[in-house]
Structures are given as C-alpha cells and as structure tokens.
Structure 1
Amino acid sequence: MKVIVVDDEKSMHMIMEIMLKNINSITLVGCFLDTWSAYAYLSDHDVDLIFIDIILPKESGIEFAKRLREEGRETKIVFLTSHKEYALPAFDVYALDYILKPVNQERLKQTIGRAAVDIELQKYSAKQAEQEKKLIYSCIGSMELRTSQHEIIKWRSSKGAELFAYLIMQRGKLVSKARIIEDVFDHMPLKKADAYLYTTIYQLRKLLDRYGLPQAIYSGNQYYVLDQKQIDVDAFMFEDQCRMLDFNDATQVNRAIEHEKSYQGKLFGEQVYGWAQYEIERLALLYISFAHKLCEALLSRAEMDKAITILKNLVENYDLEDRSIMLYLEALALKKDEVGLKRQYKKFTEMIREEMDADISNKVTEFYFRLIEKFN
C-alpha cells in the first residue's frame, strides 16, 4: 500500500516514517509540508492512503480533501490532528479515520488494517463491475463494437457508427440535440438532419437492445445521453493507465511496455470527424508523452533494444519532435553503435528536410555531436 504524509512539521514526517516502517505492506512514498506540493505529486503518481494534518498553511487538510473528492478521487484519507473539534467536518469529506496526536502505534496499525480491507473491497467491486460489462468499444486505430464474448457487432450505417462514437466521447454527459445536429449532421438541411438524427438514434437503440442494453440511450427535453456503465472503452482505459503507471517501479515499467502496444493508431482510425479533432490530437499527445517516459525508463535500465522498437514506431508514424529524435540517438549511443548513430542522424536530417522543408534543430545537432565525441 502506497502512503504519503502531509504535515507542516518535519518532526511529524520523521515520526510517521518510523512508525510506518513497522507495519508490513506499507510503502511511504512521500512526505510533504503543504497540500500544493502533495497535489503536484498526486498528479503523476498513484497513492492508496493519505495521512494529513488539518491545520496547514494556505489550504487546510479538510479543504484539500474536499478538492480531491470534487475531482472524483477516492484515495483513502486519514486526518492527523491535535484538535478534536474537526471530527465532524473531516467525515463530511469521507475520511477513513481521524487520529489525534500524538499518534499511537497500535491505533495507527488498526487504521492501516481498515484501509487495507476497504481497498480490497473496492478492487473486488471493480472486478465484479468489470465482469458485468456487456459491450467493448475499441476506438484506438479502429471503430469496433463487440460483446464480452468477442462477437463483432455490425453497424446499421456509417452515420450510426459516427453518432455512437460521438455519444461515447461525451463520457456520460447530456448533449443537446441542436449540438449533435451541428457537429454530426451539419452538412444537411435542418429539417432533414432532425429526421436523420431521430432515425439513427432509433436504430442505435434497437442495436443496443439486441445486446442487452435496452435503455442505454436516454432522451428528454431535447437532450441525449449514452449510459456507458456497461460499455468498456479502450481509449478511456488507455488514458487512465497512462496517468497511473509509475515508471520508478520495475513491475509497472513491464506493464507499461505491454500497455504501449495497445496504442494501435489514432482515435477512430482512418475516420475523419471534425468534431473529434481535439480528442484525436489530445490522445496522440498523451501517447507520445507516455512513450517518451517509458523509453527514458528503459534506457535507465539499459534496455536499449526495447526503447528503439518503440521510438522507431514513434518517429515513423506519430512524431518527429526533438525529444523523440534525441532519445533514439541516445539509445544507439548507449548500444555503442557508432555506425548506426551516424546513419540514423543522417536519416532524421533527410526526413525533416523532406517532410517539413526545414533543417534539423541546433539542439538535436549539438546533442548528436556530444554523443559522437564519446566514441573518440
């Protein structure tokens, strides 16, 4: 279980570090003096449990917990405080526990035990919900809807496939009929678009009903919403994993290698939807950033060949930015492949000139010559 401590007294950090070391299965991954530095850490790292003081500079522990809850985070929170009067407000933000200072080792152990049970129950509930999923929607590099038994579901029409994709990307939010018409049926006269939307919604409802989701599309007061609770969407799962994986953890780096393979092309594959352009670009940038971090982790582990495989795909299909090129060159240098390094630099120079009508950046050139100097 990964734990952080947020307290403005460094002595409390030391006390908690000593006490937590005596409890099995606990890893203290960070101690912070204020909520802003803790929040920055949580933006890039997955944590199971937060021990936090209530009286803190700038933002109280309760205000911080409320902020996390408003963002939908379900991280377990335990308040550490010298003040009894904050107990009720603490539980208003769904705190797991409220421990008065000075912290007692046995009391701390009991709280950790409760947290462990709660986390296991959450995992079990998530697993049960996963088993109840009825449909799987693959939209990275394709647009395929299938059952949990892997039966491919055929679309009634291309517009039906597009409208389903559009509603999926709303992530369970209401969307007005007027906006759907503007985004999906904008090339049609209004009256025809209205009728076409009604027909397409009817066909989608029938299709989903046939596969056990009779009320998945709800309409009312000129709005539509697609209930996605029983539909797995690969793009959303890919995004969640990109944000959760910790590249400092060897086991998670191995998982990340497998996760990277799931990005099989841009969102919706070869389909070009104007309304989806922002999401297409956002997911591609997320993948590129994820691939960079993964390759850096692989190079730090001297796994150059694995990094080169990923980088080769990256520069050929998605990205010719400096960071990708420099990682590729660094991987070759770490392999002590001087011939390959020179050949690849020349190839990048030609690719950029041909595709962008520009010269390779000075930053890359300087980096390349620093790598070459190491061979002399």
Structure 2
Amino acid sequence: MKVIVIDDERSMHMIMERMLKKINSITLVGCFYDTWSAYTYLSDHDVDIIFVDISMPKESGLEFAKRLRDEGRETKIIFVTSHKEYALPAFDVYALDYMLKPVNQERLQQTIERAVADMELQKNKVRQAAQEHKLIYNCLGTMELRTPQNELIKWRTSKSAELFAYLIMQKGKRVSRARIIEDMFDHMPLKNAETYLNTTVYQLRKLLSNHGFSQVIYSGNQHYSLDYSQIHVDAFRFEDQCNRMDFSNERQVNQAVEHEKSYRGHLFGEYVYRWAQNEVERLFLVSITFSHKLCEALLNRAEMDKAISILKKLVDSYELEDRTMMLYLEALALKQDEVGLKRQYKTFIEIMREDVGVSVSTKVTDYYYQLIEKLN
C-alpha cells in the first residue's frame, strides 16, 4: 500500500518514515509539510493511506480531509495529532483512525492491519460483483450506478434515474404503468405522461444494455418490473446486516462499528421523491435503532468514545429521540466528564428550543440529574 505523511514538523517525518519502514506491506511515497503540496501530489498520484496532522498551517488536517471527501475521494485518512479534543470531529470525515502523538510501533501496526482488512473487504465486494456479473447500486446518501468493475454509469436523464430507483424499491414485483404514471408523472396530462414514460423506459433500457444488462427490465401486459437479482443494492445489504447482527457477540460488535459507517445518509440522498418518503423514513428508523443497539453494546464494553462518535452523527442530523440524548449523556457520565455532560445537556436544551421548537422531555431531564448525582 502507498502511503503519504503530512506534518509541519520534520522530526515527525523522520519518526513516521522509520516506523513505516518496519511494516512490509507499506511503501512511503511522500512526506509533505502542508496540505496544499500534498493535494498537488494527489492530483497526479494514487495513494491508499494519508497520515495527516490536524494542527497545520493555512489549512487544518480536518479541512483538508473534508475537501477530499467533498470531492468523493475515499482514500483512507488517519489523523496523527497531539490534541485529543479533535477525536469526534475526525470521525465526521470518515477517518479510519485517530492516533495521539507520540505514536508507538504497536499502535501503528494495528492501524495498518485495520486499513488492510478494510481495503480487502471493499475489493472483495467489487470482485464478487464482477464474478457474479452484477451492477452496483449505491443509494444511501447518493444515487449512483456502477458496473461490476466499479466504473460509474452516467444517467441519461434525471427521470431514468428516478425510474430505476422506483423499480428497485419494488424488489422484483411487477408494477402497472398506471401506478408508475400516478406516482412519477401525476403533474402531466395523461397522454404526455404515457409518452414520457415510454421515452424514459427506452432510455433506461438502452443505458443498461450498453453495459451488458439488456435483460434487467421486464415489460409485458401493461406492467414493468426490474430483476434486482442482477444488482447489488447497498440499502438492501445495509438493512439485511442490521437484522442479522448479534450484539452479544464481541466479534460482531466490532463488525457492527464498521457496518454503521455504510449508512452514509438518507435513501437517494439529495433526491427527494414523494413516492419514496415512507421508505426513506422507514430505513432511517432502521439505522437509528441499529445505532442505539450498537451504542448500548459499546457502552457495556466501556468504549465510550466510539459510542459518542456515532451518537454525535445522529445529533448532527437532528435525530433527537430521547434514547439518543440519554445514551449520549450516559457515555459522558461513564467517562466521568461532568463538565462535558453539563455542556451537552445545555446544548440539547438549546437545539430543542431554538431549532425544533419544543422542550427536552422530562424523561431526559430526570435521567440527566440522576447521572449528575452519581458523579457527585
């Protein structure tokens, strides 16, 4: 694996170079004193892992990581810093790990092994899709279709993308032309809607056929269906794994931490479809329930920081159920962080009052004071 190091201290370059040389699977291809020179290098070179300090001149490591993520880059990012207060923001940019200086060899080795395992898992998914000759459809937080070789397929029109999403959600069931028109084209006169549907079906068929999938859409007797057995759908895989996970199994809890990251946002991301609203909300509730169970398991294992990073994501997305807030407060109490506990409770009050327009429930308030009492 190719690795770069970004740190404004020359001594850190030397330390990381010496430590990384002891790991056989790693090739250090560059050390940089600022993120901008590293970004220039990345425009012409592929790397697998980026080790970056957070406190950097001009652009922080967090800002740099966010820039990469906004561009859609999935390079593994590992923060190496002297400041532990940045741990939670680090996971907002899907960092693989967060290591405090001074870094020791054993900790570095564990992080590299985790990166190798994560990359191998992704390769296996693509390899499996290629072997099974299946399309890859990612619709959590986005709406992209890829070939079995993981190449992005560009939608011909927004309506062909919507029709594909619509048929995917039927999970192979036949749906009538009349219902599709009612759900997708109800703003048009019937004759125009029928013509538009015919055109959209043709465009979608041609798009799929150009990539070797001419038999995905079935039509007959005024019905359409989509053979989703030829497609890997991330939303279906996510829900299936949520239902299968056993939180009493330590190994599966570790797997669940990684699985939780695969929920990258609401179904279809920024694309809002009236016909999909119930499914969007249902899948979001599945993710919340899964996150709550995972956080409970993590708190039982005294892994408070991991639980907090998950709960913070929920709070940042305005998921403010009582259970979310109570788990967040419990995690801070288990860390013996009374200052943080009081600050977070105050934050909840402000968010609920100013942004949601209601008060924190009596249930949450009572639990907060119970936690405070136990700490004193």
Compute the displacement of 1:228 (Å).
1.1
Which piece of structure 1 moves more, 136-145 or 311-320? 311-320
User: How do 1:42-57 and structure 2 match up within 5 A?
Assistant: none
Would the aligned equivalents of 2:129 and 2:232 in 1 still touch at CA under 8 Å? no
Aligned match of 1:345: 345
Cα distance in 1 for residues equivalent to 2:128 and 2:319: 39
Unaligned 5+ residue runs, structure 1?
A: 1-126
Aligned match of 1:159: 159
Task: Give the number of equivalent residue pairs.
Answer: 250
What is the identity, as a one-letter code, of the residue corresponding to 2:256?
A
Would the aligned equivalents of 1:181 and 1:193 in 2 still touch at CA under 8 Å? yes
Cα distance in 2 for residues equivalent to 1:250 and 1:177: 49
What is the identity, as a one-letter code, of the residue corresponding to 2:276?
A
What is the identity, as a one-letter code, of the residue corresponding to 1:200?
T
Correspondence 1:190 to 2:190: yes
Compute the displacement of 1:318 (Å).
4.3
Aligned match of 2:310: 310
3-state DSSP of counterpart to 1:374: helix
Q: Residue 311 and residue 136 in structure 1: after superposition, are their counterparts in 2 closer, same or farther (change >3 A)?
A: same
Compute the displacement of 1:130 (Å).
7.7
Aligned match of 1:218: 218
Aligned match of 1:287: 287
State the Cα deviation string for residues 278-334 of structure 1 (Å, max 9, x = none).
Answer: 000000000000000000000000000000000000111041011000000000000
3-state DSSP of counterpart to 2:218: strand
Larger Rg: 1
Aligned match of 1:71: none
Compute the displacement of 1:246 (Å).
0.3
3-state DSSP of counterpart to 1:136: strand
Cα distance in 1 for residues equivalent to 2:308 and 2:128: 39
Aligned match of 2:298: 298
Aligned match of 2:248: 248
Compute the displacement of 1:230 (Å).
1.2
TM-score (norm 1): 0.65
Would the aligned equivalents of 2:263 and 2:287 in 1 still touch at CA under 8 Å? yes
Aligned match of 2:206: 206
Would the aligned equivalents of 1:307 and 1:331 in 2 still touch at CA under 8 Å? yes
Identity %: 69
Compute the displacement of 1:344 (Å).
0.3
Correspondence 1:269 to 2:276: no
Aligned match of 1:369: 369
CA RMSD of aligned residues (A): 1.3
Cα distance in 2 for residues equivalent to 1:175 and 1:357: 41
State the Cα deviation string for residues 94-140 of structure 1 (Å, max 9, x = none).
Answer: xxxxxxxxxxxxxxxxxxxxxxxxxxxxxxxxx97883132100000
Compute the displacement of 1:358 (Å).
1.6
Aligned match of 1:180: 180
Cα distance in 2 for residues equivalent to 1:248 and 1:364: 26
What stretches of structure 1 move > 4 A for 4+ residues in a row? 127-130
TM-score (norm 2): 0.65
Cα distance in 1 for residues equivalent to 2:132 and 2:267: 25
User: How do 1:12-51 and structure 2 match up within 5 A?
Assistant: none
Cα distance in 1 for residues equivalent to 2:313 and 2:157: 33
Compute the displacement of 1:258 (Å).
0.4
Would the aligned equivalents of 1:134 and 1:212 in 2 still touch at CA under 8 Å? no
3-state DSSP of counterpart to 2:136: strand
Would the aligned equivalents of 1:133 and 1:232 in 2 still touch at CA under 8 Å? no
What is the identity, as a one-letter code, of the residue corresponding to 1:263?
Y
User: How do 1:226-237 and structure 2 match up within 5 A?
Assistant: 226-237=226-237
Would the aligned equivalents of 2:129 and 2:135 in 1 still touch at CA under 8 Å? no
Aligned match of 1:61: none
User: How do 1:324-339 and structure 2 match up within 5 A?
Assistant: 324-339=324-339
